[in-house]
Amino acid sequence: MNLSLLIIMPLITALAVVFCRTMGGIRWVSLAGVSVQLLLSFGLLALYWRERAAGNGAAMLFEYSHAWLPSWNIRYHVGVDGISVAMILLTAVVMEAAILVSWSIKPMGKEYFILLHFLSAGAYGFFLSLDLFTVFFFLEVSVIPKFMLIGIWGSGRNHYSAMKLALMLMGGSALVFVGLVGLYYSVGGLHGFDWVAIGQMHLPAEVQRRFFPFLFLGFGIFTALFPFHTWVPDGHSSAPTAVSMFLAGVSMKLGGYGCLRVAVFLMPVAAKEYSPVIILLATIAILYGAFATMMQSDLKYINAYSSVSHCGFILLGIGMLTRTAITGAVMQMISHGLMTALFFAAIGMIYDRTHTRLVGQLGGLLKVMPFISTVFVFAGLCSLGLPGLSGFVAEITVFMGSWQRAGELYRLATILACASIVVTAVYILRATGQTIMGPVKVASYNGLGDATWNERLAGVLLGACIIAIGVAPFWLSDLLEPGVRAIMDHAGNAFGIK
């Protein structure tokens, strides 16, 4: 399969949107475009399985490589393994849902959809890239669309949030840049930025020690690494619904993916040495995020802070460096992506109708909008880790993997992370209970309608994926297994952990 199709498709859709005359045309063209992407990604999954079933054991499948800038040894190099296939599926699903809930966006609908498609093209490109130059390229591509989407169509203090997000993410990519340049010159420039080629060699420990912090911190900012998480609550709560979904669902995962695939994979020795720091920061993020959520009264802030907490699990899993924990971390990326997108979608639907997101002003929504309320509760239950839904599967894998790492610090971190679930349960149950149960607080709410067909479709799509992972997690873990094994194999004895 020609993987570049996945990058080109959103761009073609964006181009088609440029030539649309009516708002209806723009919507349908966008929907058609993302649906083709969704089909392509499921097709990719099927092809990937077929290759693997046929015994193709190559690390990367469907590779395509083209010399782009030979004097710097920069190549356009794409390819996928299980982890990238999973991330691409996530992107396609979230994007489909995001377009569906953007049905009534105004003003400047055309620009909105074009920027959204650019955003997704960046995410696809990032997950497909096997050359660190294009990794960096696609990482930065997404910064400006985010800024514009939040700044123009957002609400609240959106200008401030947009600026904060753009600058912090740019800071993250500046660090990534320094790390990549360091990597480039430490391998003599001969291998250029080729992830595969650099991955086959063992970098000297000295180099790893020096450049690991740049790469991990840089990517970490994208995934709300404490104390650089402050863009998350502001950015997510100011953004329009679809952008919140994409930001929390996909964009934050760019960071986790980069931490794992670039920093930890290429520099296992340094990963081992820095892992106490990573774990400390991740644990702080988990606890701080959870307790900060308790204090929030705005539904979007609740989900945004809980994202900080949940993304802490990703970093915790990566930092623990055991096979199970890393698998769990990737599962958490997928699970959290779906769950948080669904949560933001439900919040957006509620807000569109009631024009408030404050928990105290809502109540009894189950009576007026049963479908939306159900989706809302469903997302909440996934967030607090109800068995049968994806959140449970991912988190328990992270915890089990974390427990395999011996040592007081790691044990303590695991226990604290587990304990945070209780806090999660408190804020989720409180928020959902006050919002949908009880009497209808404002009389005018009684006349509000339930979800429209497009909103229902978005909810069902995301919900189905959550259940699919929750009930049958093995297909996902099987998908991720070769990628995780490659990381463990490359590390060899460097991790020093079974």
Partner 1 sequence: MWADIVLSFRQELIVTGIIFLLLFIKIGSTDRGSGVVLRLVNLLLLVNLVLGFFPGPDAILFSGMFHTNRLVVLEKNMLNLATLIISLQGYEWLRGHRQVFEFYMLLLATLLGFFFMISAGNLLMFYLGLELSAIPLAALASFDLEKRRSSEAAMKFILSSAFSSGLLLFGISLLYGATGTLDFGAIASRLDGTAFQLFAFVLVLSGFGFKVSAVPFHFWTADVYEGSPVTVTSYLSVVSKGGVFFVFVVTLYTVFAPMAGSWYRILVLLSVLTMVTGNLFALRQDNLKRLLAFSSIAQSGFILAGITGSSRGGEASVVYFILVYIFSNLGAFGVVSFVSARTGRESIQDYKGLYATNRWLSWVIAISLFSLAGIPPTAGFFGKFFLLMAGAGKGNYVFIVIAALNMVISLYYYLRVIKAIFMDSQPEPIGKLKIPLMSNIAFLVCVVGIIMTGLVGEIYEYIYSLSKGV
In the complex with partner 1, the residue whose CB is nearer, 16 or 148, is: 148
Hunting for tokens 């990534």 — which residue is that?
176
Q: Examine residue 137 and tell whether it contacts partner 1 (CB under 8 A).
A: yes
Shortest distance in whole angstroms from residue 121 CB to partner 1: 10
- Which ranges of 437-491 does DSSP label H, i.e. alpha helix? 453-471, 474-491
Give the C-alpha separation, 489 to 130, whole Å. 18
Per-residue b or e along 420-438, where b marks 16 or more CB atoms closer than 10 Å to that residue's CB:
bbebbbebbeebbebbbee
Amino acid identity for residue 65 in this structure: S
In the complex with partner 1, the residue whose CB is nearer, 113 or 133, is: 133
Q: Examine residue 442 and tell whether it contacts partner 1 (CB under 8 A).
A: no
Q: Examine residue 148 and tell whether it contacts partner 1 (CB under 8 A).
A: yes
Over the window 344 to 383, marking each residue x when it contacts partner 1 by CB under 8 A and - when it does not, the resulting string is ----------------------------------------
Shortest distance in whole angstroms from residue 160 CB to partner 1: 10
Q: Examine residue 162 and tell whether it contacts partner 1 (CB under 8 A).
A: yes
Shortest distance in whole angstroms from residue 246 CB to partner 1: 18
Q: Examine residue 144 and tell whether it contacts partner 1 (CB under 8 A).
A: yes
Cα distance between the two ends of the chain: 36
In the complex with partner 1, the residue whose CB is nearer, 69 or 471, is: 69
Window of 148-156, 312-320, 439-447, 464-472 that interacts with partner 1 by CB under 8 A: 148-156
**How many CA within 13 A on the CB side of residue 201?**
17
Cβ neighbours of residue 413 closer than 8 Å, sequence gap 6 or more:
279, 280, 282, 283, 316, 402
Amino acid identity for residue 333 in this structure: M
Amino acid identity for residue 460 in this structure: V
Give the C-alpha separation, 137 to 226, whole Å. 25
Shortest distance in whole angstroms from residue 137 CB to partner 1: 5
Q: Examine residue 395 and tell whether it contacts partner 1 (CB under 8 A).
A: no
Give the C-alpha separation, 76 to 78, whole Å. 7
Report CA 157 to chain centroid distance, whole Å.
24
Window of 63-71, 96-104, 320-328, 428-436 that interacts with partner 1 by CB under 8 A: 63-71
Over the window 165 to 194, marking each residue x when it contacts partner 1 by CB under 8 A and - when it does not, the resulting string is -xx--xx--xx-xx--xx-xx---------
Per-residue b or e along 156-179, where b marks 16 or more CB atoms closer than 10 Å to that residue's CB:
eebeebbebbbebbeebbebbbeb
Work out which of 15, 32, 69, 471 binds partner 1, going by CB under 8 A: 69
Q: Examine residue 72 and tell whether it contacts partner 1 (CB under 8 A).
A: yes
Give the C-alpha separation, 8 to 145, whole Å. 17
In the complex with partner 1, the residue whose CB is nearer, 207 or 382, is: 207
Q: Examine residue 12 and tell whether it contacts partner 1 (CB under 8 A).
A: no
Q: According to CB under 8 A, which residues from 190 to 249 bind partner 1?
A: 210
Work out which of 81, 96, 131, 140 binds partner 1, going by CB under 8 A: 140
Shortest distance in whole angstroms from residue 211 CB to partner 1: 9
Q: Applying CB under 8 A, what is the total number of residues that bind partner 1?
A: 33
Q: Examine residue 267 and tell whether it contacts partner 1 (CB under 8 A).
A: no
Q: Examine residue 152 and tell whether it contacts partner 1 (CB under 8 A).
A: yes
Assign 65 to helix, strand or coil: strand
Q: Examine residue 19 and tell whether it contacts partner 1 (CB under 8 A).
A: no
- CB 492: neighbour CB atoms within 10 A? 11
Interior angle at CA 452, CA 28 and CA 23, nearest 5: 30
In the complex with partner 1, the residue whose CB is nearer, 138 or 427, is: 138
Shortest distance in whole angstroms from residue 162 CB to partner 1: 8
Give the C-alpha separation, 466 to 376, whole Å. 13
Q: Examine residue 147 and tell whether it contacts partner 1 (CB under 8 A).
A: yes
φ, ψ (nearest 5 deg) of residue 420: -65, -20
**How many CA within 13 A on the CB side of residue 460?**
8
Window of 20-28, 130-138, 287-295, 463-471 that interacts with partner 1 by CB under 8 A: 130-138
**Taking phi first (over 0 means left), then psi (-120 to 50 degrees means alpha), and beta for anything else, what does residue 20 get?**
beta
In the complex, which residues of this chain contact partner 1 (CB under 8 A)? 68-72, 74, 133, 137-138, 140-141, 143-144, 147-148, 151-152, 159, 162-163, 166-167, 170-171, 174-175, 177-178, 181-182, 184-185, 210
